[in-house]
Amino acid sequence: MSNRFFINPIATEICQISGESAHHIVNVMRMKTGDSVILFDGTNREFTGIITETDKKVVTIAIQSVIEVSREQKITSTLAVAFPKGDRQKFMIEKLVELGVDSLVPLQTQRSVVNVQPRSLEKIQRWIVEASKQCGRNQLMQIKPTVSFNDWIHGQREGPRFVAHPHDMRLTITDAIGQAQRAGVVSLTVGPEGGFTSQEIADAQNAGWSTIALGITILRIETAAIAAATFFSLPENPG
């Protein structure tokens, strides 16, 4: 079990952890005064510290060292997704954090069945922190407010831009990855269970987006999002 814990950025040599994290340290991990911990603040800083005091609500830690440790992908990726229902959301977000996606945008399309409300973003942020703790990532994936499909395709301008669309083999995934590697940045779009409408695909193409197929079968939302993130996290010369 990981002894990595998230903290808000600090400027002192002493920090305090409270709430669920303090409960986890004291009651789940059974850590005591003198035990060492690893902390990260979501800005690529990683700290080593020693527990100096514990009680039921607060754990006090003395910072011993701090280093800059980036475990980010070479390609900066922004992924817009028409969110799936229920527990599939958490699973998807955990895997996207592990795969190094930089920003995640909930997408509202004509066939969307989930509209991610602002009140849900705090819960999603907790999932992002927990996944980052487990996978060793020191930069938090950003979760953005929900955006409409039309605003997304016309507002996202930087680098290659791809819309996942089944059976569209005009642009190979290998060519798409090459474009992203050369640019160092990529924008990806994954639609709802019912897929994008033909009008949405036409609108995206007219706005300069390319369509790519992620495989030869129809993928569920979370599978498509994970597949897209995986493709664009591959090293330039694997093997």
Where along the chain do its domains lie? Answer: 4-68, 76-231
pLDDT digits (tens, 9 = 90+) for 205-231: 999 999 999 988 999 999 999 999 999
CB atoms inside a 10 Å sphere around CB 197: 14
Structure-token pair, residue 194: 């019912």
Q: Where are the alpha helices (DSSP H) in 77-207?
A: 87-98, 121-135, 149-155, 173-183, 198-206
pLDDT digits (tens, 9 = 90+) for 25-65: 998 889 999 999 999 999 999 999 999 999 878 999 999 99
**Residue 238 pLDDT greater than 70, yes or no:** no
pLDDT digits (tens, 9 = 90+) for 124-170: 999 999 999 999 999 999 999 999 999 999 999 889 999 999 888 78
Angle ∠(228,231,236) on CA atoms, nearest 5 = 150
pLDDT for 56: 79
CA nearest to 211, candidates 183, 170, 174, 180: 170
Question: Residue 76 belongs to what H/E stretch?
Answer: strand 76-81
Give the pLDDT band of residue 239 (cuts 50, 70, 90). Answer: very low
pLDDT for 213: 94
| Antiparallel, parallel or unpaired: β 142-143 and 147-148 | unpaired
Cα(178)–Cα(167) distance, integer angstroms: 20
Backbone angles phi, psi at 123, to 5 degrees: -65, -45
| Antiparallel, parallel or unpaired: β 161-164 and 185-190 | parallel
pLDDT digits (tens, 9 = 90+) for 174-193: 999 999 999 999 999 999 99
| In CATH, 4-68 is 2.40.240.20 | yes
Q: Which residues pair with 59 in a beta bridge?
A: 17, 54
Fold of 76-231: Alpha/beta knot (3.40.1280)
The rounded mean pLDDT for the chain is 93
